[in-house]
Amino acid sequence: MTRRTAPAHREVFKHVTAEHAERYRAVMGCFAAAKQRFVVHLRPEDVHAALADRDGGQPEGEALTLEAVSAALDQLRAWGNLRADPDTARVTSVEDFNRARYLYQLTPAGEAAEEALAAYDAALGRRGALQAVALADIRARLGELAHEARAAQPDPGRTRQALRDLVVVFDGLADNAQAFMASLQRTIDLHDADVEAFLAYKEQLVAYVERFVGELVTASAAIATMLDDLDAAAVDRLLLVAAEAEAPDASPDEPDPVAVRLAAWRDRWRGLRQWFIGSEAAPAQSQLLRRRARQAITALLGVVTELAERSSGRSDRAADFRELARWFAQAPSEADGHRLWRAAFGLASARHLTVDADTLAARAEAPVANATRWRDAPPVRVSPRLRATGRYERRGRPQRITDRSDARRALAERIAAESAQAEAARARLATDGPVWLSDLGHLDRTAFALLLDLLGEALAQPLTPGRAVEATTADGNLAIRLTPCGDGRRATIPTESGELHGPECEVAIQPVAPGARAQPTAADEGAG
């Protein structure tokens, strides 16, 4: 038995680039559609009728005859996409038996080629999506697993179903997010293709990404908390239950099916934790997605600004220099190139310079060689007005200098007042040690805004009762250490804008010394 070589298998892809490729693709599409209906064999008349019925059934703008379809089928058989079997079902005479009649069906290689082409088309046109609903599904499945973990004997069916649903939803979320960010980058790179469509698409896209980022911040913290609450031993017991439930479906010759499936479930669970719970060495993938989405918004706004500048007629320096380089390349002679240089950059000769008697006497005592570099030679001092007007002095009365001391003083006072207000707000929030959130007392608008900034940075991290989280403000001047109490108590903070209600927490707020401000880690720089 002779094994077919790899080049022979590759012949099944010749119909993609051959002449009349659209015709061959349409014929193969008929066989793929028939296979979905569990129809194995097709006659040339069946293919001809299917091509006539389907939309676009006339490839290349011409009506396919039965003879053209038969020729395409024979060529596909020669390439190995189809197999032909004698059609003896309709033989009623010797003449019919001697006439060549065939039933065609897909070969294994032809079927694999169609599946590969379908997967290629799907991947090429895939745009992906940021699935906020998947985050809610993950939380629901984790809740079911937590319920099974608390049971004395987890139910194998519910445990296996919850884990399978969790893996499917998580894989869909990660794959769609990756595809969406890739398609978003292509949208940013190809904005010149259709400016009007891009501008119309931008508003919806920015709102879509901002909504997902907001939900991602809230859901990621809750999911990370749920993952931390699941004990490692309890999780391993659930994974073992799922592996034992799947083991009976293994093939008889598979060695130790429980161990193989348990290792696979552990890898999936490890990937889920790494996606939502990061470390100092490797940030969580959800945080990287959040940063990438925000960077995409910034890139989109930058593209919009660039398009607005183009539409307003502002000059593009890079385009101007490229056009000038083209003019230099097209200059008829070297002299024309020098004239173009002087006209473009205004660097004409220095014949207008004058030298007084003192300069001439100094040059006579200390001559300057012709080989002396310009920066090493003694300078010739001239008035800047001489270069612009050809005169040393300006005609008429000198222009009065505008006194801007009052404006500078007002600006300095405003900056000092804002700095003092911000410093007072930081001093108002600073605590001597850990205090309850409700003990902060009445806050003015500036201190309240600063507190909201601190709480927003802290609450973006996973929260666990009794475990402290640390965060700093965006400017790095103030740090907070927040510890949820977890006993159900509520805190109320009166402010000038109203009252803030929320769970009671223990907080410690301290100013950060300039030398102690956190520097970006290597992982953060790589994520950006």
Which pLDDT band holds residue 325 (cuts at 50, 70, 90)? very high
Residue 130 has which token pair?
A: 């940021």
In this predicted structure, the answer to whether residue 84 has a pLDDT above a threshold of 70 is: yes
Quick check: 255 pLDDT over 60?
yes
Query: Which of 87-91, 106-110, 240-244 has the lowest average pLDDT?
Result: 87-91
- Which positions ≥6 away from 316 have C-beta within 8 Å? 310
Tokens at 262, concatenated? 């348990």
Contacting residues for 14 by C-beta, under 8 A, at least 6 apart: 79
**What pLDDT, on the 0 to 100 scale, is given for residue 168?**
85
pLDDT at position 60 is 45
pLDDT in tens, 234-243: 888 888 888 8
Main-chain dihedrals φ then ψ at residue 61, nearest 5 degrees: 75, 15
pLDDT at 436 over 70: yes
Q: Is the pLDDT of residue 259 over 70?
A: yes
Q: Which residue has the tokens 């223990």?
A: 506
Taking alpha carbons only, the member of 215, 259, 221, 225 closest to residue 240 is 259
Q: Which of these, 198, 162, 228, 170, lies nearest to 464 by C-alpha position?
A: 228
* pLDDT band, very low/low/confident/very high, at 1 (cuts 50, 70, 90): very low
Q: Is the dihedral of CA 175, 177, 182, 183 positive or negative?
A: positive
Q: What is the DSSP letter of 62?
A: S
Is the pLDDT reported for residue 38 higher than 60?
yes
Bigger pLDDT: 365 or 486?
A: 365
Question: What local confidence, expressed as pLDDT, does residue 329 receive?
Answer: 92
Query: Whole-angstrom Cα distance, residue 86 to residue 88?
Result: 6
pLDDT at 136: 82
* Three-state secondary structure string covering 344-364: HHCCCCCCCCCCCHHHHHHHH
pLDDT of 508 reads 92
pLDDT at 124 over 60: no
User: Quick one: which of 47, 99, 89 has its CA closest to 68?
Assistant: 47
Which H or E run includes 258?
helix 257-276
Contacts of 460 (CB under 8 A, 6+ apart): 217, 221, 471
pLDDT band at 327 (very low <50, low <70, confident <90, very high): very high
What is the reported pTM?
A: 0.41
Q: Is the predicted pLDDT of residue 353 greater than 70, yes or no? A: no
Please tell me the predicted confidence (pLDDT) of residue 457: 82
Instruction: Tell me what pLDDT residue 82 has.
Output: 92
57-73 pLDDT, tens per residue? 444 445 678 888 888 99
> Where is pLDDT greater, at 206 or 311?
206
β-strand pairing of 469-472 with 478-484: antiparallel
What integer pLDDT is reported at residue 525 of this predicted model? 37
- pLDDT reported for residue 387: 63
Statement: residue 487 has pLDDT above 50: yes
pLDDT digits (tens, 9 = 90+) for 178-225: 777 676 666 666 555 456 666 666 667 777 777 777 777 778 888 888
First-to-final CA distance of the chain: 57
pLDDT score at 383: 61
The chain-wide mean pLDDT, for the chain, equals: 77
Token readout for 147 is 């319920």
Query: What is the average pLDDT across 338-364?
Result: 73
The residue-averaged pLDDT of 83-92 equals: 72
Q: How far is CA 133 from CA 138, 212, 219, 276, in A?
A: 9, 10, 10, 16
pLDDT band at 449 (very low <50, low <70, confident <90, very high): confident
Residue 36, CA distances (Å) to 39, 111, 511 in order: 7, 12, 68
Domains of the chain (ranges plus CATH)?
6-124 (1.10.10.10), 132-308 (no CATH), 416-527 (no CATH)
507 close to 435: Cβ distance less than 8 angstroms: yes
pLDDT digits (tens, 9 = 90+) for 381-425: 666 666 666 665 556 666 677 778 888 888 889 888 888 888 888
Summarize the confidence of residues 455-462 as an average pLDDT.
81
- Which tokens go with 522? 């290597």
- C-beta separation of 476 from 518 below 8 A: yes
Cα Dmax for the chain:
125
pLDDT of residue 61: 45
When comparing pLDDT for 439 and 192, which is higher? Answer: 439
